Every structure is written in structure tokens, then in C-alpha cells.
Amino acid sequence: MRNLIVSYRKLPQQIVNTLQLKYPDGFDHDTFEFELPGKQIICKALRLTVDEVNYLIKLEQRPKRTDFLLDEDW
């Protein structure tokens, strides 16, 4: 079984069609977030298995926030 990490923008049309069939109401409830090692980036992604291929589909990225709001009473 192959494992592929692909951006949503670069997905083949066949996989996009499979996503639409599998998640007709959207896939927000099946997404998860992970941090890229060595970078300050958080990625939102979705897993999909099609024809002996495991896809990790990157949906969006955002910078990791490392600043903390400190309460004066803390």
C-alpha cells in the first residue's frame, strides 16, 4: 500500500470526485491538525484511502502561534 501526501489543489480530478462522493455534506468533521516538524506551521488535513493508496490531503496551513496572552491577575 502506498502513502502519498498531496495538497488539495494538486489532487487528480478522480480523487476530487471520490471525495465528493464519500463526503457529500462536507468533510470538516473528519479533518485533523498536525504540526510540521522543524517548522512553525500547523496543517489541516484529511485521510482518504483509494485503490491501495493512502492519501493525506493537506487542506490549509497556518502559522503556529507561540505568543501567550498573560492575564494581569495570573
Residue 39 placed within a domain: yes
Residue 72 placed within a domain: no
Nearest to 45 by CA among 24, 28, 22: 28
Percentage helix, strand, coil for the chain under 3-state DSSP, each rounded to 5: 20, 40, 35
pTM confidence score: 0.76
Q: What pLDDT score was predicted for residue 19?
A: 92
Render pLDDT for 23-74 as a digit per residue (tens, 0 to 9). 999 888 899 998 888 888 899 999 999 989 999 999 999 888 765 665 555 5
Q: What pLDDT score was predicted for residue 73?
A: 54
Cα gap 45→68, rounded to integer Å: 25
Residue 74 placed within a domain: no
- Total structural domains within the chain: 1
Range of the domain at 12: 2-63
